[in-house]
Amino acid sequence: MSVSEAAIELRDVTVRLGGRTILENLDLSIPAGKVTAVMGPSGAGKTTVLRLVTGQIRPDSGEVRVGDTRVDKLDGKALNRFRREIGVLLQNGALFTDLTCFDNVALPLREHTGLPETLIRRLVLLKLQMVGLRGAAELYPSELSGGMNRRVATARAMALDPSIMLFDEPFAGLDPISLGVSLRLIRDINHALGITSIVITHDVDEVSDLADQCAIIAERRVMASGTPSQLADSDNPLVRQFMQGLPDGPVPFHYPAADLADDLLATEKHR
């Protein structure tokens, strides 16, 4: 894929946090107007990719580009201006529990637009209608289920009509109905508005229904990328282990430890 086709581009990115290398010389291109799933085992650095794209962390080396913007060079007001162009759905929705659903969605509009309250009301109701929760506008997040909370949070993330949406683990812990609703919502938003979506997830089954493109992150880099069917047919042992959900393989079942026999004999000696 050429750079011009890519909405988001991570080039030769290395991130070290707390003395640990999370990503090393990672290259990743996210095509414009498509749904791209960033997958990988837990702790592989998927959320770090999201935090790089939103400018929450900076790489130790490499470039993070969103369109023509070098996100890793932004700070202060420029970073805030950039963040108004993107919408982020965090893992548990992160709604403000002291505000109603209506006020949660209205918050970015009130902070950034200066629109009159009557217009804000219309926009908020339309956003809530989009996620099917207009009727819950006056409820507090604590009165809604986890899935509904995430839908309200999606409406809030969409409030300023972003051109890029990032979803961090949008399916984690959802019941089958909520999961189906979330899948349809992400797909519909993407197709209706033509925005670029990144879905950080490890739900392989859902990804095959949803994503146009996938990238698997493991061992601090992009291990494989392609369409969901290409990845499903991959010969790479790690990709196969991940896509088929095998308990053992390149990602070991056991946490690194001394030999079992040595440990057991040591226990005998302690007696």
Partner 1 sequence: MTPDTPGNRLFDRPLRELGRALLFLFTAISRMRFSRLQLTETLRQIYFAGVRSLVIIVTCGFFVGLVLTLQTYDTLTRFGAGDAVSTVLALSLFRELGPVLTALLFAGRAGTSITAEIGLMRATEQLDALDLMAIDPMERIVQPRLIAGLIALPALVLIFNVTAIVGGVFFAVFLMGNDPVTFWSNMQASVELGRDFFGGMIKAVAFGFVAAWLAVWFGWSARPTSEGVALATTQTVIATAITVLILDFILSAFML
Query: Could you say whether residue 21 binds partner 1 (CB under 8 A)?
Result: no
Least distance between partner 1 and beta carbon 115 (Å): 13
Question: Residues 32, 90, 123, 139: which binds partner 1 (CB under 8 A)?
Answer: 90
Per DSSP bridges, beta strands 69-70 and 61-66 are antiparallel
Nearest CA to 154 among 119, 121, 130? 130
Judged by CB under 8 A, does residue 161 bind partner 1? no
State the Cα–Cα distance between residues 263 and 42, nearest whole angstrom.
27
Q: Among 90, 157, 99, 150, which residue's Cα sits nearest to residue 127? A: 157
Binding segment for partner 1 (CB under 8 A), chosen from 58-66, 108-116, 126-134, 187-195, is: 108-116
| Cβ contact 109:120 at 8 Å | yes
Binding flag, residue 101, partner 1 (CB under 8 A)? no
Pick from 58, 110, 187, 240: which binds partner 1 (CB under 8 A)? 110
- Residue 113 touches partner 1, criterion: CB under 8 A: no
Least distance between partner 1 and beta carbon 271 (Å): 34
DSSP strands (E only) in the chain:
6-17, 20-31, 35-39, 61-66, 69-70, 86-89, 164-168, 196-200, 213-218, 221-226
227 binds partner 1 (CB under 8 A): no
Interacting stretch for partner 1, rule CB under 8 A, among 107-115, 184-192, 197-205, 235-243?
Answer: 107-115
Assess 228 for contact with partner 1 (CB under 8 A): no
Comparing CB distances to partner 1, the nearer of 117 and 263 is 117
Distance CA 37, CA 11 (A): 18
Q: For residue 43, what are its two tokens? A: 């702790």
DSSP 73: G
Give the whole-angstrom CA distance, residue 167 versus residue 40: 15
Strands 20-31 and 86-89: unpaired
Told to check if 111 binds partner 1 by CB under 8 A, we report yes
56 binds partner 1 (CB under 8 A): yes
Q: Does 170 bind partner 1 (CB under 8 A)?
A: no
Which of 108, 147, 170, 228 binds partner 1 (CB under 8 A)? It is 108
Choice from 21, 25, 61, 80 touching partner 1 (CB under 8 A): 80
Q: How far apart are CA 134 and CA 100, in angstroms?
A: 12
Strand 6-17 with 86-89, pairing: unpaired
CA 100, chain centre distance (Å)? 25
Tell me if 91 contacts partner 1 by CB under 8 A: yes
What is the binding site for partner 1 (CB under 8 A)?
A: 54, 56, 79-81, 83-84, 86, 88, 90-92, 94-97, 107-108, 110-112, 153, 156
